[in-house]
Amino acid sequence: MTTLFDRLVALLEDEAARFRVIEHSAEGRSDLVAAVRGTAPGQGAKAMLCKSKDDDCTLVLAILPGDKKLDFKRVAAAAGIKKAKLASPEEAQRETGCVIGAIPPFSFSPTIKLIVDPELVESFDEIAFNAGQLDRSMILDSVDYVRIAKPLLHSLCV
């Protein structure tokens, strides 16, 4: 069975992306995993699965710098919905195949809209993220990330 990590590696290799993998102890908090990776907290791509408060069909994977807080009004505006809220941990795992904290900043589902705060990719030459597992991270060139993931760029932070 192909894991999400394997899919990420294959995608990045196929696209000739500049990236590296770091194996580390399982860590769920942005600040702690940044220290383990040797990256700045703001370099971490925090992935938060959100959904519409009005219908459970609209899903948004909001990606923001690891040291910032999500503004749900901005998520709703970017996604074209009235109100956004966080998906439950169970919904996030069902929709992404990952536990909270391990969701990478890529959408492999046509039903999940990928929206990235531009501050993440404009402030750092590389982004860091958990690659489908809490104990494995990737450091990826920011330009390559935007080229490959093709996210909608929209301000999402408080």
Q: What are the residue boundaries of the structural domains of the chain, listed by start? A: 4-153
Are 138 and 8 within 8 A, CB to CB?
yes
pLDDT at position 35:
87
pLDDT at position 27:
75
Rounded Cα–Cα distance for residues 6 and 142 (Å): 20
- Low-confidence residues of the chain, pLDDT below 70? 28, 56
Query: For the whole model, what pTM was predicted?
Result: 0.95
pLDDT at position 55:
81
Rounded Cα–Cα distance for residues 48 and 134 (Å): 15
Architecture (CATH level 2) of domain 4-153: Alpha-Beta Complex (3.90)
pLDDT at position 56:
67
Sheet order of strands, 136-141 included? 19-23, 136-141, 126-133
